[in-house]
């Protein structure tokens, strides 16, 4: 810098006209008032929306609403099936997404080399976090529900693991009889004296027949074609014994079929795709927030890279990781578009008991009720929204508690 530069700067300062203090204060106040007005409008709109939902939905918030299944009668309808469906789907999503997401973030931040390949991976993960959830629904439909058509149509599973296969016949009382089978599509050879199973039926308090999960063994009698078949349980005509009416699989909770079909496992894995980029990014940010001096001090004391990550970096980042993960799970519970694309049923009267059972979720049930023209069902939708908000607030409260419990000074 030469001697003429200070003189030129002084000349520029002398020529400049300073702004009026009053104008600057007025501009600041105007900007502040504008921000407050926009915030007030947003809060007011949210308050009106929540107020209308509470006014319409609170009268229907009763215990039977949580214990009853969906019904065509609004006074008897409840959310037991979608509530448990949401719990199953969210549990599967968390079990799969959280370990994969956190492990990916740890590798990218602590172990991955800094080169173009890892930069490309980070860029794509950031882009995936902004993809609309309905796109993940289409991907889940192709990948999990149909598995690219490699195993055949979803109505006929090609591979079953953990279940017990039965062939279904009808006796002369027109009651379904289950007979153990070795292979789907291959009829077992029936003869008199074989043992089948008939479903137990109970009569409800209002006279309605209730099909139980209990099956009673019954001795089969195969009547030749040239004889008249009397009516009775376990009596099957010969021509009906040649080909079963259908095949059915008894499904324990660990039963799996391929393709997965419109099952609770497919729904959970689809929502895993939705939240996985968010879990990875939030975990990366949590790891970056850990001061580098902690890593340096650990390495200086002779710890390995893995020991430093496991005993220093991860414990320090756990509060932020858990907060981001739980908030991501809150988003998964409120998603409806990916589940809708999978083609799940809107009317379910049973709760899932295995990974391959059909299901529905709270957002889908709310959507079903809001599409009805009856006012009673719209009131039920408002009550369902309140329950969904309660679940989301509970998840957020858990995130705050975990953060407070695990937070400690980084020293």
Asked if residue 41 has pLDDT above 90, the reply is yes
Selection from 375, 320, 411, 347 nearest residue 81 by Cα: 347
Residues forming a β-bridge with 167: 179, 247
According to the per-residue pLDDT averaged within each range, which of 75-79, 371-375, 382-386 is highest?
A: 382-386
Question: With contact defined as beta carbons under 8 Å apart, do 399 and 326 qualify?
Answer: yes
Return d(Cα 320, Cα 399) in angstroms, integer.
9
What pLDDT score does 75 carry?
A: 85
| H-state helical runs in 129-247 | 133-140, 238-241
CA distances to 199, 348, 367 from 175, rounded to whole Å, are 8, 24, 37
Q: Residue 153 in 3-state DSSP?
A: coil
Average pLDDT score over residue span 218-235: 88
Per-residue pLDDT of 55-92, as tens digits, reads: 999 998 899 999 998 888 888 889 999 999 999 999 99
DSSP secondary structure, 61-127, as one string: --HHHHHSPP-SSTTT---HHHHHHHHHHHHHHHHHHHHHHHHHHHIIIIIS-SSHHHHHHHHHHHH
Sign of CA dihedral 139, 142, 145, 147: negative
pLDDT above 80: residue 21: no
257 or 395: which leads in pLDDT: 257
Taking residues 133-162, report their average pLDDT. 84
Domain residue limits, the chain? 65-150+261-406, 164-250
User: Cα(47)–Cα(120) distance, rounded to whole angstroms?
Assistant: 43
pLDDT: which is higher, 115 or 151: 115
- Are the beta carbons of 382 and 53 closer than 8 angstroms? yes
The count of residues in the chain is 411
| Alpha carbon 158 to its chain's center | 26
Angle, CA 104 vertex, CA 99 and CA 107 arms, to 5°: 125
Return mean pLDDT, the chain.
87
- Whether 309 shows a pLDDT value over 90: the answer reads yes
DSSP string over 167-221 = EEEE-TT--EEEEE-SSTT------TT-EEEEEEEEE-TTS-EEEEEEEEEEE-E
Residue 11 has pLDDT above 90, yes or no: no
Q: Which helix (H) or strand (E) holds 399?
A: helix 375-406
Q: CB-based contacts of 66: which residues, under 8 Å, 6+ apart?
A: 78, 79, 80, 83, 387
Question: Does the domain formed by 65-150+261-406 have CATH 3.50.50.60?
Answer: no
Spatial contact of 210 and 349, defined as CB atoms under 8 Å apart = no
Closest CA to 139 of 251, 277, 282: 277
Q: Which residue has the higher pLDDT, 17 or 288?
A: 288
Mean per-residue pLDDT, 366-373: 87
Average pLDDT over residues 375-398: 88
Position 284 scores a pLDDT of: 95
Q: Is the peptide bond before 259 cis (omega within 30 degrees of 0)?
A: yes
Q: Name which residue leads in pLDDT, 8 or 325.
A: 325
Q: Region 229-241: what's the mean pLDDT?
A: 88
Q: What is the pLDDT of residue 125?
A: 94
**Strand, coil or helix: 214:** strand
Partner residues linked to 257 by β-bridges: 160
pLDDT of residue 19: 58
Torsion of CA 113, 116, 122, 128, to 10 degrees: -150
């Amino acid at each position: 810098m030469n001697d003429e530069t200070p003189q030129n700067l002084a000349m520029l300062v002398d020529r400049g006209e300073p702004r009026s203090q009053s104008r600057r204060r007025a501009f600041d106040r105007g900007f502040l008032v504008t921000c407050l007005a926009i915030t007030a409008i947003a809060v007011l709109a949210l308050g009106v929306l929540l107020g209308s939902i509470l006014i319409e939905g609170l009268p229907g918030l009763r215990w039977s609403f949580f214990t009853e299944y969906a019904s065509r009668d609004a006074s008897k309808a409840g959310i037991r099936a979608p509530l448990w469906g949401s719990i199953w789907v969210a549990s599967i999503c968390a079990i799969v997404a959280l370990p994969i997401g956190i492990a990916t973030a740890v590798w990218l931040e602590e172990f991955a080399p800094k080169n173009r390949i890892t930069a490309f991976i980070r860029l794509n993960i950031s882009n995936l976090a902004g993809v609309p959830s309905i796109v993940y629904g289409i991907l889940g439909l192709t990948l999990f529900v149909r598995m690219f058509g490699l195993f055949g149509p979803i109505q006929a599973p090609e591979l079953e693991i953990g279940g017990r296969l039965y062939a279904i016949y009808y006796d002369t009382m027109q009651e379904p009889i289950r007979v153990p089978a070795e292979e789907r599509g291959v009829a077992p050879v029936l003869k008199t004296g074989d043992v089948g199973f008939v479903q137990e039926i109970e009569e409800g308090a209002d006279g309605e027949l209730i099909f139980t999960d209990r099956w009673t063994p019954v001795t089969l009698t195969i009547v030749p074609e040239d004889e008249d078949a009397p009516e009775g349980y376990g009596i099957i005509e010969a021509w009906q014994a040649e080909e079963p009416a259908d095949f059915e699989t008894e499904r324990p909770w660990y039963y799996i079929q391929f393709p997965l079909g419109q099952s609770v496992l497919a729904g959970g894995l689809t929502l895993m795709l939705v939240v996985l980029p968010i879990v990875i990014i939030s975990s990366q940010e949590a790891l970056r927030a850990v001061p580098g001096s902690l890593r340096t001090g650990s390495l200086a004391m002779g710890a390995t890279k893995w020991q430093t990550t496991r005993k220093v970096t991860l414990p320090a980042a756990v509060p932020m990781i858990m907060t981001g993960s739980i908030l991501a799970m809150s988003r998964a519970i409120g998603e409806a578009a990916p589940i809708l694309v999978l083609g799940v049923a809107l009317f379910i009267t049973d709760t899932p008991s295995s990974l391959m059972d059909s299901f529905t979720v709270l957002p889908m049930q709310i959507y079903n009720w809001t599409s009805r023209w009856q006012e009673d069902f719209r009131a039920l939708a408002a009550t369902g929204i309140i329950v969904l908000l309660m679940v989301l607030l509970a998840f957020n409260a858990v995130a705050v508690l975990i953060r407070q419990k695990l937070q400690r000074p980084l020293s």
